[in-house]
Structure 1
Amino acid sequence: MTGPVRSVSHAFAILRLLGEEGALTLSDIGRSIGLSPSSCLNLLKTLVAEGAIERGTSTKRYRLTAPWQAAEALRDSAGARLVDRALPRMAAFAQSTDAAVGLWKVVSRDRMQLAVRAESDAGMRLSLADGQRQPLGSGAAGRAIAAAQAVNEGELARRYAPVRWQTGLPLETYVRQVHEAGGRGYAIDQGYTHRGVWTVAAGMTGIAPGFCLSASIVAESQSDAELDALGAMLLMLRDELILQAA
């Protein structure tokens, strides 16, 4: 299954941003969406040509044209703002930790999907595939979402059932790990979902339809104490992203 087309996703992110903020400069837009000046300019020129936005001659600011200002779909939501603006801070986090960072979105009662990803430029690094989907109960992200939602053990069993673990994980251990995640704020998966990969994840409450932030590293490249420190840093990043989406 192919993932979303990034240029189309970025174009809609620009439209939502202008719908919320009003007229903005090229640099304002690029910084908010996490685009380079050249990529941002090409998208803006395309949107101008399509009649969705216009550029003020005196202010040099871009704004929605009148028909698009009335578009109901562009009335922003916290979830849309979160997805549109997460990349710059996620990229900085990935660069400083050498982790592959993902923002996951709950897309149904059974599935989550990768909405945004970032990785470092280290020579040896993990990478997440654009737009990948996985069972809602899977990985550190699944445990973190369940902990954030405080779901009961019956629902935990339902989410656990369809997951294919690469390393055996009994249901009782899974339930215990969800409860541990609820206590410390982040979940940990040490090779259960993917052999050779350790992941920490922090769920986000209060932003529909439900999100989770994850950071993955090569297994045993950090000590348990360093893994806990990564989880604490991820909680700080999560809180920053929630604030900027508010």
Structure 2
Amino acid sequence: MTKKPTSSASQERELAKTVKESKAPAISRAAAILRLLGKSPTPLGLQAIARELGLVPSTCLYVLRALVAEELVSFDPDTKRYSLEAGVLTLARHWLRRNQFTDLAQPVLDRISQQFDVTMLGVNIVGLDHMIVVATSQAGNNFQLSAQIGSRFPALISATGRCIAAFGDYPEEELAERFETLRWDDPPTFEEWKQQVEQTRTQGFAVDAGHYISGVTVVAAPVWKSSGGPSHALVAIGIGSALQRSGLPELQDAMLNSAKALSSQLSGEI
């Protein structure tokens, strides 16, 4: 799932729009800067950050200095460039320590990954905005298909997106609008996608057979923490031909049963 979740330009437009529309602009600007630095492969200078986010340089500098003071961003006085500081790891550790799903899902991911030789992800669903990878397990023998913890993807993309649409109470107009922004290797039409969403609602899990990434099959099963839409999902990623040989129906059953068990644990039913 590392493949082009959104284009760089669309991500930048989204960040700029968030900053512009926010009722708490200081917080929004700080979050946008942290996200930009997080996805940048190299440290960035003040002008580059301000330009990418559509900020006035003086305003951008004010926010950067505050983030440096909080040890969330580091500043190199020699290069005059900014990058993420280790303080963000402290926040992430605190969140992961309190996230019950991560602890419960990890052994499940490890077991399914080894049994079916697939890459397994546990994702946190944030409404129709995006999903975030919070746990991973990589089998040793399969072709490397992976995503790092903290990776963000558009909410409606791939198999997980079908789960979100199937089990969330979202107007079709809003789904259609967001669907148009998605990037696929082999994009389905919206009508085809709606049929796949309906199938997901019936069978309880979703399959993306090469639409998102050509030649790659993605299976997703939703996990609930409470009533309403799913809060998380289990995701399996593998080469389509290999999964057909190793037992795709068995993988689907394992995913569905594991997701149901996790839902019961998270909701306190067991």
TM-score bucket of the superposed structures, by smaller chain: 0.5 to 0.7
SS of 1:112's partner is: strand
1:98·1:125 contact (CA, 8 Å) conserved in 2?
A: no
Q: Which runs of 5+ in 2 are unaligned?
A: 1-37, 40-83
1:213 matched residue in structure 2: 234
Select 1:183's aligned residue among 202, 221, 230.
Answer: 202
Aligned equivalent of 1:203 = 222
The structure-2 alpha-carbon separation of the partners of 1:206 and 1:164, relative to structure 1 and needing over 3 Å to count, comes to same
- State the match for 1:144 in structure 2: 163
Q: Is the 8 A contact 2:117 2:142 kept in 1?
A: no
| Structure 2 partner of 1:26 | none
Q: 1:161 to 1:241 in 2, by over 3 A?
A: same
Indicate if the aligned counterparts of 1:107 and 1:209 stay in contact, CA closer than 8 A.
no
CA contact (8 A) 1:110 1:159 kept: no
Distance, in Å, in 2 between the alignment partners of 1:229 and 1:240 is 17
Q: In the comparison of the two structures, how many residue pairs are matched?
A: 182
Identity of aligned residues (%): 26
Aligned to 2:254: 233
Supply the AA of the counterpart residue of 1:231.
Q
**Counterparts of 2:240 and 2:176 in 1: how far apart (Å)?**
27
Where does 1:1-246 land on structure 2 (aligned, <5 Å)?
1=38, 9-10=92-93, 13-14=96-97, 16=98, 80-122=99-141, 124-207=143-226, 210-223=231-244, 226-245=247-266, 246=268
With normalisation by structure 1, the TM-score equals 0.65
Residues 148 and 182 in structure 1, CA contact (< 8 A), matched pair in contact too: yes
Q: State the Cα distance separating 1:130 from its structure 2 match.
A: 2.3
Task: Classify 1:222/1:108 alpha carbon distance in 2 versus 1 (closer, same or farther; 3 Å).
Answer: closer
Deviations 1:65-85 (A, max 9, x none): xxxxxxxxxxxxxxx211233
CA distance in 2, matches of 1:224, 1:173: 26
Matched-pair contact (CA < 8 Å) for 2:224–2:263: no
2:62 maps to which residue? none
Partner SS for 1:127: coil
| Distance across 1 between alignment mates of 2:203 and 2:233 | 15
Residues 159-207 of structure 1, C-alpha deviations (whole Å, 9 max, x = no match): 3121011113111001110000011111110111111210111122344
After superposition, the C-alpha distances for 1:78-133 in whole angstroms (9 at most, x for unaligned) are xx211233112211111111111111112353211111111212263422222111
Q: CA deviation at 1:13?
A: 4.4
- State how far apart, in whole Å, the 2-side matches of 1:230 and 1:10 are: 31
Q: Distance in 2 between matches of 1:180 and 1:225?
A: 23
Distance in 2, matches of 1:136 and 1:224, equals 30
Over 3 Å counting, the alpha-carbon distance change for 1:199 and 1:158 in structure 2 is same
- Separation in 1 of the partners of 2:169 and 2:245? 25
How much is the aligned-residue C-alpha RMSD, in angstroms? 2.7
Unaligned regions of 5+ residues in structure 1, if any?
Answer: 17-79
